[in-house]
Amino acid sequence: MLIVTEHFPVLVIVISMLSAFTILIAGRWNKKTCLPISIATISVQLFMALFILNQVITRGTIHYRLGGWAPPWGIEYVIDAFNAYVLVIVLFICLLTAIYAKRSIEREQPHRIVPFYVVFQLLITGLCGITVTGDIFNLYVFLEIASLAAYALIAVAGRRALKASYNYVIMGSIGACFYLLGAGFLYAVTGSLNMADLSHLLPPLYENKVVQAAFVFFVVGMSIKMALFPLHIWQPDAYTYAPSAVTVIIAAAMSKVSIYAFIRVFFSVFTTEFIRIYVPIATAISWIAAIAIIVGSIIAIMQSNLKRMLAYSSVAQVGYIVLGVGLYSTQWGLYGALMHILNHALTKGCLFLVAGAIIYRYGLWNIHDFVGLGKKMPYTCAAFTIAALSMIGVPPSVGFITKLCLLAASLEAVEYAFVAVILASTLLNLVYFWRVIERMYFVKGEGEEEKEIRKDEAPMSMVLPALILGSLCIIVGILWLAGTETPLLPVVDHAVNALLGTGVVAAP
Amino acid sequence: MNTENSATGEGKGGDVIVETVSRLMVPFIQLFALYVIIHGAGGPGGGFQGGVIFAASFILLVIAFGIVDAGDRFPEAVNTNLFSVGVYIFAGVGLLCVILSFGAAQYLNYGFIPLTTHFEENRALGMDLVEIGIGITVMAVITSIFFNLVWKRESEEEVGEKEEQE
């Protein structure tokens, strides 16, 4: 067994790819085999990811040389605490989404079950690939796999989703092109594509304009992919019109992976020294993030479509993460950003699961129609409320921790404007979530004053994932605040150290 | 040329010159495709380019002999299986390296497939196997894309959409 475990970094991708094509063949024979194969694969992947995480914590960074070729020439998979942390989050969300997708897709796309699961599995392949690779060109390849799969999954819904998907294709392709240009520039200057190798070769070339241009291309390209504020225009439509299950995986898993790639290039290919001295971009990025937080929240308040409101809320949440990245020089900045990756995956995953469940059961998407929903769907609405509280940042939740970290970072950087922004956005969050919660629980419908409202929940396979994510928001928060011997703390600490230390960690 | 035939619509393609020339060219195109695939390990070319050339030979046949006929000869199910088979070959060769060396070699470390006694020869042969897998997948996918572009099949998706609209 010991020997097999060494190959987990590559197996996590390979079995996903094999499974996608197995689903294709098995699905032609019997449609009902798609879901079990998909869930089995993701479970195995999640197990591998947890094992990798454990190994990274106990034994340090994992290096895997594909085909036995030494790093600067061959492709190398490098997994440190940050990769493993993101990998576990992403696969966990994927697993819950796969379970959730069963009923959701049967209802929304009954004729495309087989293609859905094939492309879904390919999307997961791409996401895992981006996360484990230590090679900037390989990252681009997986980025394209994941993006193409996402375009297809969004377009599945037809009609308005086609336009949303087309927008995403154009914007996403520009983003990927910028990333590729950046990688090409670096290759032209250094002759290497390996991240660790680049971080050694680049420092003498930091004054080179080509290197600086490459950095800017990377930042802008990845900003499009992760929907940072001025470049977010593809995102609300894509999230709103995609099938429910697809929205969950794109909002909760795929945006996290884009942010992972952004942070990885930021700190591991380039270094903090480069960002501090040669391209002083940190302050600018923090301000963009601050604007994103405020604008995203304000636009979210104006929405009446629940999914669209959550989409704009995501714009604001990406702002939080980037704000943390911009404040990397403080003690809590990057820590807060990484915690917020977890927070946003849990809460936004949960909220979109609930939005999908409400659409599944009652076909409601307009917030004004949610009257009395709290009694009709008690568990679903409970999950929504918990996740909303976490997003607002009410104490025992994980959202409170990230806001605390970001506040501490802003205070340490003596940027009181950011403190004001975070506090103001908390109020704005409260406003737009309260609208929904108020309708669910407190507003009485006309003419149904004391009438008994029949309880009619969404199916178990849709409610349970939402409840799991909702309760995790609280559990993680309490564990953190209690300061007990949780495995989570060292993971995030390790991840921050890996990023701010010597890059991807020098090859042994 | 013989436009009357196609204008009346009785023939399926039906142009003697086009049909004969295509029939003559196809074996050469396919041979060249195989050369590009096999040569890919040591020179310009490879599975992707070879696969595209191979698919081009099919597309030539389709254009020469008419789409309806050719469509019946390349059922979608065969294409689906073919592009899965290609991926299986690719991933399978990679996994074989791990399995046959009992986990000592990395994924896609071809040298450890015991086809011959020489490490380097194994490596070259392993690459060829992988290129063949890639070639099959690319050929099947390109053919499939071509069919989907030129010929509207009554697939289950479209039936589904019609039901939805009603």
Is the Cβ pair B91, A18 closer than 8 Å? yes
Element (H, E) at B151: none
Q: Residue A181 CB: number of other CB atoms within 10 A?
A: 17
**Total structural domains within chain B:** 1
Please compute the mean of the pLDDT values over residues A298-302 and round it to a whole number: 91
Q: Please report residues of A whose CB lies closer than 8 A to that of B80.
A: 24-25, 28
- Residue A471 in tokens: 């309760």
Q: Residue A505 — pLDDT band, cuts 50, 70, 90? A: very low
Q: Residue B78 — pLDDT band, cuts 50, 70, 90? A: confident
Is the Cβ pair A14, B95 closer than 8 Å? yes
User: In angstroms, rounded to a whole number, what is the distance separating the alpha carbons of residues A270 and A206?
Assistant: 9
Q: What percent of chain A has pLDDT over 90?
A: 41
Q: Which of A6, A28, A68 sits opposite B109 (nearest CB)?
A: A68
Please compute the mean of the pLDDT values over residues B65-89 and round it to a whole number: 80
pLDDT tens track for B127-165: 888 889 999 999 999 988 888 887 665 554 554 454 444
Q: Which of B95, B107, B160 sits opposite A111 (nearest CB)?
A: B160
Is the Cβ pair A28, B160 closer than 8 Å? no
ipTM score for this prediction: 0.80
- Residue A33 in tokens: 């085999």
Please compute the mean of the pLDDT values over residues A430-448 and round it to a whole number: 80
In B, minimum Cα distance to A110 occurs at: B160
Task: Give a yes or no: residue B160 inside a domain.
Answer: no
Is the Cβ pair A65, B98 closer than 8 Å? no
Task: Give the CA distances from residue A84 to residues A61, A87, A402, A479, in Å, rounded to whole numbers and listed in that order.
Answer: 10, 5, 20, 20
Is the Cβ pair A21, B110 closer than 8 Å? no
Q: Which of A11, A21, A64 sits opposite B87 (nearest CB)?
A: A21
Provide CB contacts within 8 A for A296, sequence distance 6+: A229, A232, A312, A313, A314, A315, A316, A317, A318, A319
Q: Are the C-beta atoms of A394 and A472 separated by less than 8 Å? A: no
Is the Cβ pair A7, B106 closer than 8 Å? yes
Is the Cβ pair B94, A28 closer than 8 Å? no
| C-alpha atoms less than 13 angstroms from C-alpha of A196 in its C-beta half-sphere | 24
Q: Is pLDDT at B5 greater than 50 in this prediction?
A: no
Q: Is pLDDT at B166 greater than 50 in this prediction?
A: no
pLDDT tens track for A71-81: 888 888 999 88
Q: Please report residues of A whose CB lies closer than 8 A to that of B110.
A: 67
Task: Give a yes or no: residue B159 inside a domain.
Answer: no
Please compute the mean of the pLDDT values over residues B9-18 and round it to a whole number: 64
Task: Give a yes or no: residue B4 inside a domain.
Answer: no
Q: Which of A11, A25, A68 sits opposite B81 (nearest CB)?
A: A25
pLDDT value of position B153: 54
Selected for mutation to probe chain A from B79, B107, B127 (highest A CB count within 10 Å) is B107
How many residues are there in chain A? 508
Q: Please report residues of A whose CB lies closer than 8 A to that of B87.
A: 17-18, 21
Lowest mean pLDDT across A265-279, A296-310, A429-443, B12-26? B12-26
Report how many Cβ contacts below 8 Å link chain A to chain B: 60
User: In angstroms, rounded to a whole number, what is the distance separating the alpha carbons of residues A154 and A119?
Assistant: 11
Q: Please report residues of B whose CB lies closer than 8 A to that of A3.
A: 102-104
Q: Please report residues of B whose CB lies closer than 8 A to that of A25.
A: 80-81, 84
DSSP tag of A135: B
Selected for mutation to probe chain A from B76, B83, B106 (highest A CB count within 10 Å) is B106
User: In angstroms, rounded to a whole number, what is the distance separating the alpha carbons of residues B50 and B53?
Assistant: 5
- Residue A210 in tokens: 């080509």
Selected for mutation to probe chain B from A6, A17, A18, A132 (highest B CB count within 10 Å) is A18
Is the Cβ pair B103, A111 closer than 8 Å? no
Task: Give a yes or no: residue B18 inside a domain.
Answer: yes
Lowest mean pLDDT across A155-164, A441-450, A487-496, B82-91? A441-450
If phi over 0 gives left and psi between -120 and 50 gives alpha, with beta otherwise, what is residue A486? beta
Is the Cβ pair B156, A111 closer than 8 Å? yes
pLDDT tens track for A1-16: 457 788 888 889 999 9
Q: Which of B84, B157, B161 sits opposite A24 (nearest CB)?
A: B84
Q: A70 in contact with B at a CB cutoff of 8 Å?
A: no
Is the Cβ pair B109, A21 closer than 8 Å? no
Q: Please report residues of B whose CB lies closer than 8 A to that of A6.
A: 103
In A, minimum Cα distance to B108 occurs at: A67
> B-side interface with A, Cβ within 8 Å?
77, 80-81, 83-84, 87-88, 91, 94-95, 98, 102-111, 156-157, 159-161, 163
Q: Residue B117 — pLDDT band, cuts 50, 70, 90? A: confident
- Which ranges of B66-155 does DSSP label H, i.e. alpha helix? 67-73, 76-100, 119-150
- Which ranges of A135-191 does DSSP label H, i.e. alpha helix? 136-155, 160-190
Is the Cβ pair B161, A10 closer than 8 Å? no
Q: Residue A309 — pLDDT band, cuts 50, 70, 90? A: very high
Is the Cβ pair A111, B111 closer than 8 Å? no
Task: Give a yes or no: residue B112 inside a domain.
Answer: yes
Please compute the mean of the pLDDT values over residues A405-433 and round it to a whole number: 90
Lowest mean pLDDT across A151-165, A383-397, B45-59, B71-85? B71-85
Higher-confidence residue of A90 and B61: namely A90
Q: A163 in contact with B at a CB cutoff of 8 Å?
A: no
User: In angstroms, rounded to a whole number, what is the distance separating the alpha carbons of residues A412 and B70?
Assistant: 71
When the pLDDT of each residue in chain A is averaged and rounded to a whole number, the result is 87
DSSP tag of A203: G
Q: Please, which residues 208-237 of chain A have a Cβ atom closer than 8 Å to chain B?
A: none
Please compute the mean of the pLDDT values over residues A296-313 and round it to a whole number: 91
**Which residues span the domain enclosing B16?**
11-152
User: In angstroms, rounded to a whole number, what is the distance separating the alpha carbons of residues A114 and A167?
Assistant: 25
Task: Give a yes or no: residue B37 inside a domain.
Answer: yes
pLDDT value of position A159: 80
Task: Give a yes or no: residue B124 inside a domain.
Answer: yes
Q: Which of A21, A67, A110 sits opposite B106 (nearest CB)?
A: A67
Q: Are the C-beta atoms of A347 and A324 separated by less than 8 Å? A: no
Please name every residue paired with A63 in a beta bridge, in sequence order, or none if there are none.
A78
Task: Give a yes or no: residue B157 inside a domain.
Answer: no
Q: How far is A445 from chain B (nearest CA, A)?
A: 33
User: In angstroms, rounded to a whole number, what is the distance separating the alpha carbons of residues A351 and A349?
Assistant: 6
In A, minimum Cα distance to B109 occurs at: A67
